[in-house]
Structure 1
Amino acid sequence: MEDTMTNRRQFLQAAASLALVPMLPRGILGATSLRTRPSWPQFRDSPLYTAFLDAVAKMRASQDSTKPGSWAYWTNVHANFCPHKKPYFLAWHRGFLARFEAQLRKASGNSALVLPYWNYYEHPLLPAEFRDSSSPLYLRNRTGTDVSGACTLGAFDPGLTNFQRGKTDAFEPAVESAPHNGVHNLIGGTMDNIAVSPRDPIFWLHHANIDRLWDAWVQADDGRHMPARTASYWSGSFSYGPAVSTMKRVSTYTPSVLGYRYDDTALPTSQPSGYAGTLPSIQEAFASPLPVQGASLGGLGGLALGAQSTRVRIPLTVEGRNRVRSLATAQGQGATPAGDALRIVLDGVSLTGAASQGGYFYKILLNLPSTGLTQPEQTYLVGTLGPFEVSVARHARMMAGAGMAAMQAPVRIVLPAQDVLGRIWPEPLDALTLSFVRVATDGAPQGDAVVIDRLWMETD
């Protein structure tokens, strides 16, 4: 990993002498026509397919990671600048794709070339062309090929009308968790590590689909809204490395500003035929209770997650139960508790052996009824946990100054649970349970995969 994970200072210094290269697609200003990004099956049968293969092969063969004509340049940009579990996850990646797409055109010599997208809601199997070892689209270390299990519909629930992270009922964090993280986890290999995931050519088609789903969410309307173009939210710029010009945040407001559109902007309404519509059996796990102290409402010490879905019960004191009911009531009645919210904290999270290669993840559901789903899954879903989420947390620590050692160390993962409280209210809340529901593809590890040293519930 070290050959591509140059630290931020080295990466910036290596290309500091390069002039900024404006790489905006044709048609940004005064455009009368837009390039159309198609789905993979249509793209594969089009005249642009050969140009795409040639461009990918040329960029992957380039050895100079300081120049945008090399594949490694874009991997390093993602490692050094991408925001995951932060504001602008969607907007930054939209600009990232646009800059990369422009470089593909340059490498191919074809000004009409566009990035296709992988619509896994309709075609959940990794396209055959990416599994052909003679193709420049091939990468040998993938673990899984079927991402049906990542294709939930929660992010497209009509109740998610806000856009940005930090708001209640927000689309951006929901779609990042599912399907985005799940697809990274199930493909596995390079894809389940944020620091190197763009090495895999399927990364680009996956993110083009996430970008398309964002556009579809906006166009679906029905009360869904983003901050106005004039809002301070869009002030500032995004960086895509020293060899490429920055991009104003507001330029990512819609695809048309960047000169493209999608051939299909309908929100998914169904899951793939291979998607498991019912939850598997869930075993009860027992761990040592943690003392209630500080912001903690109660928790457990020592939990290993393996091939079996697992449920744990969080013991609450009388004061803790009252606090949870108060938060749930306020949220359920449409109020946002000022300066106070419920969070799930997973501490000392690590991966075991081959589990770091992915092919699996866990949906984390709060107070899922023991009899199974009585409401849509999104009602109970607080997030996902797998190798990709662990890599995101490790990467954040490394970028904060902890160094390369952070990429192997146990991490803390915090999951906001306040929205879920509002959705399950007024169901009884005398106890809190967490269900870790395993989702896996062929090739996933069968033994213990994720170890959590401690977990607890807390409020401000």
Structure 2
Amino acid sequence: MHSRKNQRDLTRTEKKRLVDAILELKRSGRYDDFVTLHRQYYVTDTERRPRPAHMTPSFFPWHRRYLLEFEKALRAVDPRVTLPYWDWTRDDTASASLWAEDFLGGNGRPGDRQVMTGPFAYRRGNWRIRAGVTDDPFLRRDFGRPSAPVTLPGAADVDRALKDPVYDAEPWNSVSTTGFRNRIEGWGIRGARGVANHNRVHRWIGGSMAGAASPDDPVFWLHHAFIDLLWTRWQKAHPRSPYLPARALPAHDPQRDRIFASDQPMPPWDVAPSQLMDHTRFYRYV
């Protein structure tokens, strides 16, 4: 079993190994396969088809398996690499260590928001966006979105979500007003609350992170490793609270064939949420 560390605790060598492994996946074409997969399963709750990844109770287990597959690909390149996590409640500025020249690079430049620094800058020749939502071949970031400012979530935002003792609630989608899942996934609900936590981080980074092809920005993996860690913290705080829904919804429920109950296998891996409840079979957080 391997360990996932806070990105701020990585050594210079660990950062370089991770960056090199990501660049090798990009060079081989495997990285873009992961981006395409995320786009494929970014199904909204207005679509009348199964949605395992977003606006759904299986948001956490689906992304856990997705990260495990990516981490496995990284470790096939370099077995010493593991995914770090980014605690955006603490490292919450554009000068935080993860945005350094030797790691993820920084904000996009004014105008086209092109990232000009770090190993994933297009001008370095190693990072061409192929599956993005725009035709731009370069990585884009727009920290804080100055045109309509947004801030990163704080510890109080996370604590509020962690205190909810119920995993998820009807109608099992983006407008579930209670439940840990949507409090962390963070869909804004008119008249109830604004965009929060997970979604607000995507919005704060902006650019390539703002759409269904968000894994085009390597920070996606560090962000979602922290989301995964928050799920483990919630489980620890509420050991008697199960994944919901526990069983397939009744035939008359409009969500019946669109969301995944505890033992219903999720595509594309044919693995059920119940099989992904315990992360300690795979890794630990330090």
Compute the TM-score of the two structures, normalised by the length of structure 1.
Answer: 0.43
Residue 169 of structure 1 aligns with an amino acid whose one-letter code is: T
Letter in structure 2 aligned against 1:175: I
Structure 1 unaligned regions, length at least 5: 1-33, 64-69, 264-460
Letter in 2 for 1:81: Y
The amino acid that maps onto 1:144 is: F
CA separation of 1:215 and 1:62: change in aligned 2, threshold 3 A: same
Matched residues, number:
214
> What displacement does 1:165 show?
3.8
Task: State which of 200, 203, 211 in structure 2 corresponds to 1:182.
Answer: 200
2:105 corresponds to which of 131, 155, 170:
131
Residue of structure 2 equivalent to 1:226:
242
Instruction: From the CA coordinates, give the structure whose radius of gyration is larger.
Output: 1
- Map 1:4-403; keep pairs closer than 5 Å: 34-43=1-10, 45=11, 47-63=13-29, 70-82=30-42, 83-108=53-78, 110=79, 112-126=80-94, 127=98, 128=100, 129-131=103-105, 133=116, 135-138=118-121, 140-144=139-143, 148-151=151-154, 153-157=156-160, 159-166=163-170, 169-177=178-186, 178-194=196-212, 196-221=213-238, 225-227=241-243, 233-240=261-268, 245-257=269-281, 259-263=282-286
Letter in 2 for 1:160: D
Q: 2: CA distance between counterparts of 1:227 and 1:39?
A: 26
Distance in 1, matches of 2:144 and 2:105, equals 9
Shift, 1:227, TM fit: 3.0
How far residue 230 of structure 1 moved from its aligned partner, in angstroms, is: 7.8
Q: What CA distance in whole angstroms lies between the structure 1 residues aligned with 2:21 and 2:141? A: 22
Name the aligned partner's letter for residue 124 of structure 1.
Answer: D
Would the aligned equivalents of 1:75 and 1:197 in 2 still touch at CA under 8 Å? Answer: yes
Q: CA RMSD of the aligned region, Å?
A: 2.7
Corresponding residue SS for 1:50: helix
In 2 relative to 1, CA 165–47 (structure 1 residues): closer, same or farther, beyond 3 Å? farther
Q: Which runs of 5+ in 2 are unaligned?
A: 43-52, 107-115, 122-137, 171-175, 187-195, 249-260
C-alpha spacing 1:224/1:159, structure 2 compared with 1 (3 Å): farther
Write out per-residue CA displacement over residues 31-53 of structure 1, whole angstroms, 9 at most, x where no aligned residue.
xxx3110010112x164332211
The answer to which structure, 1 or 2, has the higher relative contact order (CA under 8 A, 6+ apart) is 2
State the distance in 1 between where 2:166 and 2:9 align.
Answer: 33
- Same amino acid, percent of matched pairs: 26
**Maintained 8 Å contact 2:139/2:217:** no
Change (3 A) 1:217 1:190: same
1:260 partner letter: Y
Whose strand proportion is higher, 1 or 2? Answer: 1
Contact 1:78 1:198 in 2 (8 A): yes
Instruction: Supply the distance in 1 between the matched residues of 2:200 and 2:280 (Cα, whole angstroms).
Output: 28
